[in-house]
């Protein structure tokens, strides 16, 4: 018998989580397969790419190694995969039960709101972590299939940054949903932010104004090509940690005290 909200949620989402794991891994392996034909093509094309677009496409040298390709393509451009998952589940876990009218039934049992908040977030944490792990496994498997050298340590570090991005956006979405009880609002606000922030970070070298604006984009701090080249940036990790902690600290007391909506 499932005795906790955490285990109950994970059990209920087990097939959804398995589907995301398989689909995400297969997508990343599939993306890896384009490395050989794109290696020479991108090397020639990037000679004519404007400087303002280099942050989006990378340098010619980036595409000559599988690690460089993974940093630019898998860990940067494909990061939107986990972002979508994070926002969808963050909104559903926070306000889904309230939206469906079942949250009051759950709270009718001997469970405190704070405990409910923490356990539902723990389930979200586990799901984001599992999906984030596909970036590492998918890249490694893709490298093996192509017989390309895979730097495991830096691949793991780049995957950690993608995980922190997904977890941060999932946490913000969860916090907004828990604080307001509005599932749609949480998803819309964070989804819009992610869309705009992605393009701002990608075009950060276009002008000084865009570069300054990019400091407000969490995508800037993933910095996968830089991680591949030089390892983790502690300052960038700290940005994600602060976003996660502040979101939870602000949302928990609001959720614990506000009136819950009924259908």
Please report the pLDDT score of residue 52 as a whole number.
Answer: 52
Residue 220 pLDDT > 60:
yes
Tell me the pLDDT tens digit for each residue of 130-147. 999 999 999 999 999 998
Global confidence as pTM: 0.88
Residue 51 pLDDT > 60:
no
Confidence of residue 59 (pLDDT cuts 50, 70, 90): low
Please give the share of the chain, as a percent, with pLDDT higher than 70.
Answer: 84
Q: Confirm if 135 and 28 have CB atoms less than 8 A apart.
A: yes
Tell me the pLDDT tens digit for each residue of 162-197. 999 999 999 999 999 989 888 889 999 999 999 999
Please report the pLDDT score of residue 168 as a whole number.
Answer: 97
263 vs 93: which has the higher pLDDT = 93
The contacts of residue 218 (CB under 8 Å, 6+ apart) are 165, 168, 169, 197, 239, 240, 243
Report, as an integer, the average pLDDT of 233-262: 90
Please report the pLDDT score of residue 46 as a whole number.
Answer: 55
261 vs 3: which has the higher pLDDT = 3
Please give the share of the chain, as a percent, with pLDDT higher than 90.
Answer: 45
Residue 200 pLDDT > 60:
yes
Tell me the pLDDT tens digit for each residue of 87-110. 999 998 877 776 666 666 666 666
Report, as an integer, the average pLDDT of 211-220: 88
Please report the pLDDT score of residue 1 as a whole number.
Answer: 43
Residue 83 pLDDT > 50:
yes
144 vs 72: which has the higher pLDDT = 144
Please report the pLDDT score of residue 60 as a whole number.
Answer: 58
Please report the pLDDT score of residue 210 as a whole number.
Answer: 81
Tell me the pLDDT tens digit for each residue of 225-234. 778 777 788 9
């Amino acid at each position: 018998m499932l005795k906790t909200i955490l285990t109950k949620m994970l059990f209920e989402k087990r097939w959804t989580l398995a589907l995301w794991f398989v689909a995400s891994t297969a997508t990343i392996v599939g993306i890896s397969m384009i490395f050989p034909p794109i290696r020479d093509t991108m090397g020639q094309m990037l000679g004519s790419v404007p400087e303002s677009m280099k942050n989006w496409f990378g340098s010619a040298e980036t595409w000559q190694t599988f690690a460089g390709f993974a940093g630019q393509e898998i860990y940067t451009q494909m990061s939107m995969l986990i972002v979508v998952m994070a926002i969808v589940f963050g909104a559903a876990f926070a306000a889904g039960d309230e939206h469906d009218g079942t949250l009051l039934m759950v709270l009718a049992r001997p469970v405190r709101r704070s405990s409910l908040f923490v356990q539902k977030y723990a389930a979200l944490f586990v799901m984001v972590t599992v999906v984030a792990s596909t970036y590492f496994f998918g890249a490694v498997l893709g490298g093996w299939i192509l017989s390309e050298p895979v730097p495991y340590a830096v691949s793991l570090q780049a995957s950690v940054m993608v995980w922190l991005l997904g977890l941060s956006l999932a946490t913000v979405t969860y916090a907004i949903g828990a604080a307001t009880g509005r599932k749609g609002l949480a998803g819309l606000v964070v989804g819009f932010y992610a869309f705009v922030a992605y393009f701002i970070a990608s075009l950060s070298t276009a002008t000084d104004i865009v570069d300054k604006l990019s400091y407000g984009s969490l995508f800037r701090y993933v910095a996968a090509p830089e991680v591949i080249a030089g390892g983790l940036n502690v300052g960038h990790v700290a940005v994600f940690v602060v976003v996660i902690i502040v979101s939870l600290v602000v949302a928990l007391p609001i959720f614990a005290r506000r009136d819950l909506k009924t259908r």
